[in-house]
Structure 1
Amino acid sequence: MDLGIRGRTALISGADSGIGLATARLLHAEGARVVLTDLDEAAVVDAAAGVGGDVLAFGADLTDAAAVERLHERVAGAVGDLDILVQSAGITGAQGLFHEIDDAGWSQTVETDLLAPVRLVRAFLPGLRRGGWGRLVFVASEDAVQPYDDELPYCAAKAGILALAKGLSRSYATEGLLVNAVSPAFIATPMTDAMMTRRAEQTGTSFDGAIASFLDEERPYLELKRRGQVDEVAAVIAFLCSDRASFVNGSNYRVDAGSVATI
């Protein structure tokens, strides 16, 4: 399927690995001009080289307002206004039961998973609005609508992302800027690798054993009984970035194998 984005300019955050990098590969393959950003500039530059020789990459700490402004200046200077922005950067953040998590844990998680996306969008929104055609896609999580008691800061931040996406979709659709979210569940990324490594150490089992027990005990509705693959999420993101999604706005697409118990 031709996604109709050849020649469009896209910025993907959280793009040195995982869902962000898989999305960058797919958009690049569809002919988009792709720019990557992540916290570690050396890592994201290496990632960009693996996508294509014409792919640009800039490091930026999205929790730092001044760094976000510098990122905007660098991107605008290199490629001009964006047509597509995919906000994929995030962390698991503070974990534990509610009474075990202090203000610092909440602040770090909300700062990274909610306020950083706000800053990124605010910086690039004027350019996205100017072109008369734009796509903004947030990567949220199943946790936004089905919260888990051992990672409530992450759940709350991702619920905020869905509210942000819906609100923005109401503000700018008539200008041609369509805003949507994608909510994955238990995808094979460095984030869930770290989660399963910790679980294996805590339970005295293998990495694969940790995945199996997690699925049985923590994600009983994830019917395919496996971790998702980043390309399976990137395919949905790419569709929402495309000309084919011209009547999709303010939606949340779950890529979760049924992990969320309700429709």
Structure 2
Amino acid sequence: MTGGHAPRGIDFDKPNAARVYDFLIGGKLNYAIDREFAERILQVRPEARELAVLNRRWLRRAVRFGAAQGIRQFLDIGSGMPTAGHVHEIVQSIDPTSRVVYVDNEPIAVAHSEIVLQDNANAEMVRADAEFPADVLEHPTTERLLDFTEPVMLIMAAFIHFIPDSRNPAGLIAAYRDALVPGSYLALSSGTFEGQGEEVRRAAELYRQSGTDVVARSKEELRALVAGFEVLPPGIVFTPEWRPDDPAEVGEHPELASQLALVARKN
């Protein structure tokens, strides 16, 4: 076990991305400063609530896909609040023995997760800064629940766009990749400017002004970040386009989702 990095406390002076997301998908684990910021985002992007829901729906499809491939271990990086239909509920409905480790450093997300998961022996939250992979991978909870000699699905849903190039997102993903055995999977979604209007750039600027960098990346930039994984069909696509349950759900303008998604395998 490493010495670890001190978890960040609650910062009431600026909105938190996890709590803003929680508000947008209808959650209650947020503060006035988060709601005020979310309302500013909604003024720029009135569809922001729908976009957050589209990302959540993609995540559910991705983990069901992982379970269908036989994956029974899931490591959810930057998981945020454990809302209804979260990863453990999806995969444990398929196989109750499936094990899930959530990782976040937002104290409210962690505290609520501990309440939600207190009676679930196969799902726990790790409070750690995911930018330090050793703190996650060598955490006693991770080591107890996940067996890295067997395949794992690594989840980075709406996470990597908060990691600027200066903090080496490719190296971060590679550090987690190197801990996985062949046959493991990566499920990743990220904001993008591809096919977007000026309102998306304005929303990203609002995040930047609030103290949270958002780095929107292209398909090719994301492909470079996941080097060492084989991106599976249908490739890197907008979230509604990734293996929809019903083709009608894609709509005429899937790019309005503003997030690209992929699932990749380590061979």
**What TM-score, normalized by structure 1, do the two folds share?**
0.48
**What TM-score, normalized by structure 2, do the two folds share?**
0.48
